[in-house]
Amino acid sequence: EVQLVESGGGLVQPGGSLRLSCAASGFTFNSYWMHWVRQTPGKGLVWVSRINSDGSSTSYADSVKGRFTISRDNAKNTLYLQMNSLRVEDTAVYYCARGRDGYNKVIDVWGQGTTVTVSS
């Protein structure tokens, strides 16, 4: 079974840092692009970042550029999101997601999400 399991969410003060992890299983992780998408409670979806299959290329939404870093460890089948200089508006559920085979920027598998709360 294809599965993505996020961890690392929690409560952090403004200006703080947090690292999210996403453990992948049930598919050949090193063949797929991966994404992070967030969702504010009661609000819509916001694409955050993506990384290609070998980790050599990354992209970020303007709202997180320079503060967040996406990375992956293909030997460990794990995706990461390092979040620095966190702001109250970064509070959201963060989803790890897989890019669809052949259409890498389309998301075909999602994790269950991990909640990040930025508050003093």
Q: Tell whether residue 61 is a contact of another protein (CB under 8 A).
A: yes
Take residue 27 and report the two structure tokens written for it: 């598919």
Take residue 19 and report the two structure tokens written for it: 């690292």
Q: Given the rule CB under 8 A, which of 10-18, 19-27, 57-65, 67-75 is the region that contacts another protein?
A: 57-65
Q: Tell whether residue 113 is a contact of another protein (CB under 8 A).
A: yes
Query: Over the range 33-62, which residues count as b (16 or more CB within 10 Å of their CB) and which as e?
Result: bbbbbbeeeeeeeeebbbbebeeeeeebee
Q: Given the rule CB under 8 A, which of 22-30, 71-79, 80-88, 101-109 is the region that contacts another protein?
A: 101-109
Q: Which residues form the interface with another protein (CB under 8 A)?
A: 35, 37, 44-47, 50, 59, 61-62, 95, 100, 103, 105-108, 110-113
